[in-house]
């Protein structure tokens, strides 16, 4: 009895299964324009949806659309996403390590209004329109799990970066167009490979998604 819902075969259900050992081979080391900046290196994974990616290389582990999006990732000590905001809710669950989350309404990343240190299994829900950044503050790498509201893909700037971060990224050849899609420099493949090498050294059973 399905009460009018779609019938899913076993084959269809298996497309909704994500094995972590497989997901870890589908990383995106340059998912965002800040990924190349000092202090912001990280490996991102798209589980459901685009998870705000500026890089069209992402391939969700589960391709069927949902009314929410899920991303995962890890970063070395001192690294994490730079000062940015979104027009939707973004919730984080810490899976490993300790993370410092900062937030505020000034686009200057040096002027946050608040912060909190979160450890394993702690969570934070970040509302729309508030700037945020987060970084690993433990001695080893940190992993996170994120749930995002649904949102259009490549329809506008997303993430919305601090102008300061945008300038830093553009100085090293990375920027996003008006739709939020990454404009890659000619050295992109080499830069991506270097990021992957550094990140995989931290977590040897991971890899970047093939180009």
pTM of the model: 0.95
Q: How far apart are CA 74 and CA 178, in angstroms?
A: 28
Given a cut of 90, whether residue 1 has pLDDT beyond it is no
Other CB atoms closer than 10 Å to residue 22's CB: what's the count?
Answer: 10
> The domain containing residue 81 runs over which residues?
26-201
Domain assignment present for residue 45? The answer is yes
% the chain with pLDDT above 90 = 96
Sign of CA dihedral 3, 8, 14, 18: negative
CA distance 91 to 128: 11
Q: Can you give the pLDDT at residue 211?
A: 86
Q: For the residues of 51-94, what is the DSSP string, one character each?
A: TT-SSTT---SB-S--SSEEEEEEE-BT----SEE-SS-EEEEE
Q: What is the CATH number of the domain that holds 147?
A: 2.60.120.10
Residue 19 lies in a domain: no
Phi then psi dihedrals of residue 182, to 5 deg: -65, 135
SS3 of residue 37 by DSSP: coil
The residues pairing with 176 across neighbouring beta strands, listed in sequence order, are 182
Whether a cis peptide bond, with omega within 30° of 0, leads into 159 is yes
Count of the separate structural domains present in the chain: 1
Per-residue pLDDT at 152 exceeds 80: yes
Joined tokens for residue 172: 């090293």
Per-residue pLDDT at 70: 98
Residue 141 lies inside a defined structural domain of this protein: yes
Q: Would you say residue 211 lies in a domain?
A: no
Per-residue pLDDT tens over the stretch 85-144: 999 999 999 999 999 999 999 999 999 999 999 999 999 999 999 999 999 999 999 999
Predicted pLDDT at 133: 98
Residue 20 located in a structural domain: no
User: Distance (Å, rounded) from C-alpha 16 to C-alpha 11?
Assistant: 9
Most distant CA atoms of the chain, gap in Å: 59
13 within a domain of the structure (yes/no): no
Is 17 within a domain? no
pLDDT score of 63: 95
Establish if 9 belongs to a structural domain: no
- Look up residue 68 and give its two tokens: 């929410």
Beta-bridge partner residues of 84:
132, 161
């Amino acid at each position: 009895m399905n009460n009018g819902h779609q019938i899913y075969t076993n084959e269809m259900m298996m497309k909704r299964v994500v094995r972590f050992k497989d997901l870890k081979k589908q990383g995106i080391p340059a998912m965002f324009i800040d990924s190349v900046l000092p202090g912001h290196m990280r490996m991102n994974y798209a589980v459901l949806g685009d998870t705000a990616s500026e890089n069209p290389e992402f391939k969700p582990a589960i391709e069927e659309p949902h009314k929410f999006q899920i991303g995962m990732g890890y970063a070395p000590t001192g690294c994490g996403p730079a000062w940015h905001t979104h027009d939707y809710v973004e919730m984080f669950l810490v899976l490993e390590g300790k993370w410092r989350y900062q937030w505020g309404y000034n686009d200057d990343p040096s002027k946050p209004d608040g912060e909190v240190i979160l450890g394993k299994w702690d969570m934070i829900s970040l509302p729309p329109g508030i700037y945020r950044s987060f970084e690993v503050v433990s001695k080893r790498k940190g992993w996170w799990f994120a749930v995002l509201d649904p949102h259009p893909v490549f329809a506008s700037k997303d993430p919305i970066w601090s102008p300061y971060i945008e300038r830093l990224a553009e100085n090293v050849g990375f920027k996003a167009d008006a739709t939020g899609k990454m404009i890659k420099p000619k050295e992109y493949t080499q830069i991506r490979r270097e990021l992957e090498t550094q990140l995989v050294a931290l977590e040897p059973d991971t890899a970047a998604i093939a180009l």
